[in-house]
Amino acid sequence: MRIEIERQVVLPDEEQMLGIPSLEEMDTWARAAFAEAGFDKDCAFTARFVTNDEIQELNSTYRGKDAPTNILSFPYDSPDPEELPPEAEADGADADADADADAEDEGIYLGDLVIAMEVMRREAHEQDKTLTEHCAHLIIHGCLHLLGYDHIEDDEAEEMESLEIKALEHLGFANPYLADEE
């Protein structure tokens, strides 16, 4: 399985960039999440590291919560061909052939992860975790969201948390939910 990760950093200074994971780390963490979920297709996703202001705006716009959060996941949903403008249909088979060729080259585009480093650093400190440990958890959590997992209902949360715990365990990290239970 091939994973293409586009890492975008939109932070104002080097101090805020401290602790941003490498592409190799994110690849390792994504592979752990995908393995636990039984997903083994070539794929791609974007990981965008942003300020609290940017993530707060996104959280307000897309979730109705006017506060910064640690990570947001935006799974890619390909457009319905019937909803495309007529000029897009005019290209017809050529566009379809190009899209199929691109899909074979790059795999499935899963979507975008947007991560607030300031929130992640604060949470890691509050939870007495290393920044790497907390970042691994959030990337795994976000990748599972990109695959369609959710935690709105209790049974969904149990399934998703179980996958996260197993993936983190395989990487040598502790169960991130133990502290919540104490």
- pTM equals 0.84
Contacts of 4 (CB under 8 A, 6+ apart): 43, 44, 45, 106, 107
Q: What's the pLDDT score for residue 179?
A: 59
pLDDT, residue 8, reads: 96
Q: What is the pLDDT of residue 87?
A: 60
Q: Kindly give the pairing relationship between strand 108-116 and strand 3-9.
A: unpaired
Note the pLDDT tens digit of each residue in 32-61.
Answer: 999 999 999 999 999 999 999 999 999 999
CA distance 154 to 177: 14
Q: What is the mean pLDDT of residues 144-168?
A: 94
User: Domains of the chain by range and CATH?
Assistant: 3-181 (3.40.390.30)
The β-bridge partners of 49 are 9, 115
Maximum distance among all Cα pairs of the chain, rounded to whole angstroms: 60
Query: What is the pLDDT confidence band of residue 6, given thresholds at 50, 70 and 90?
Result: very high
Query: What is the helix (H) or strand (E) element at residue 159, kind and residue range?
Result: helix 154-170
pLDDT at 142 over 70: yes
**Structure confidence at residue 14 (pLDDT):** 83
Q: How far apart are CA 109 and CA 43, in angstroms?
A: 6
The pLDDT-based confidence of 103 (bands split at 50, 70, 90) is very low
